[in-house]
Chain A
Amino acid sequence: MMLKLGLIVAAAGLLLAACSSGGDDPQPAPEAATSSAQSDAQEEQAATSYRAGQSESTAGTETERENEEAAQPSAAPADRGSEDTEQSAEQSAQPSSEQATAQSEAEPAADAEPEQQAMVGQIIETGHRAGLFANRNSVGDPDAAIVITEYSDFL
């Protein structure tokens, strides 16, 4: 009886020993290795993908930065260009507005004395204005060579 129990315990021990040494079994080991390799690969892939993602995202970021940097210089001149254009437009607009203001300021005087300026020009050109007069029924130079006379009734 005791011998049978000893054999059973020994067999169980052997079985346990056989089970514990099952890691040496090539079949389970490759699966474990495969799974671990797969997990490693997945981790590496994940890491790679993460790094790639990072690198991609970084690259993307860098690309975006490059694009932004590339865009900024190009945009800056464009902006500067537009600013310059706007400034030039403003500058070109300012003189026009100033001119408009000046014109608007000068307009009353210009409107008030256009004929007088023309008359001054004629005086300078002809020198006859000093002899002009408007007295009662006569207007012009008393010594003018041409006398135009209108005979008329008001009715």
Chain B
Amino acid sequence: MNPIIKSILAPKFIFATLRVMTPILYPAIGVAVSALAGSVNIALEGIMLVSAFTGVIISAYTGSLWFALIAGVLAGVGMGAVLGYFHLNLKADIIIAAIALNMFASGITIFLLYILTHDKGTSSSIKSLVFPSYQIPLLKDIPVLGPMLSGHNILTYLLFVAIIAFYYIIYKTPLGLRIRAVGQNPEAAASVGIDVKKIRMYSLLLSGFFGSFGGLYLSMGYVSWFSRDMTAGRGFIAIAAASLGGNLPLGTFLGAALFGLVNAFSNFIAPLKIPSEFMQSIPYLTTVIVLAIYSINKSNKEKAALKEGAK
């Protein structure tokens, strides 16, 4: 068999995919939950950076993973709250406010990193913790599945909890129902007494909550340090993943998986000497094409409806 195909089919490939998609799916859920409420959060890049940084610093100073987790999550939720406050209370354009928050996050993390460690690049000079990886008993011994699914970081396992939690929140709780109602028809929601602003605020807080796990994973799992701008656009890729998936749980999962796959794929075909730049641009090109096809279809349907009416 062709060695390339063989390596792609190897369990290692799926393992890598899951690893790569972890810091994409978390923020993608964050984007999706905010988009469902009708106020798309494009500040996940910043939320992840702040959480990644907070987690590393707190773990280094307290030596406690729990404190790091709590602080990282609070930092992410706090960013969501700031965005919500500026957008909902001070009537800032949510897109521009989010762009500003992304800049803020990039600046403040490097700024503080330098103040604390006198290094602008990475936090490697301080000893921070990482979230543990686990081999799953029994599963790890199953031939193909074992190496695919076992041995991951705990945050990668939590990813599945997160997507299921997202599903449950959206479809099985009153909050989720209200989030969807507010996103689809805010007037209708308001007419039955739902506070639209409050629901949007909750969705942005949730958005920060989910996003923060992506950040924590980056600096305390994917690698074991914080480095400047380490999100490297994953917060934006998350927007693409969520829009590919129509902001729904399964779709968002598949969207993030696509990015994970392509990314892992580009590493695995390195021996083929296809320039990695090509491979890396594929997810973005895919998004452009899929979004274009999606909107072309939609507008064709609308036109068809008009024609139908003409008959």
Indicate whether A and B interact: no
Binding site for A on B (CB under 8 A): none
Which residues of A come within 8 Å of B, CB atoms? none
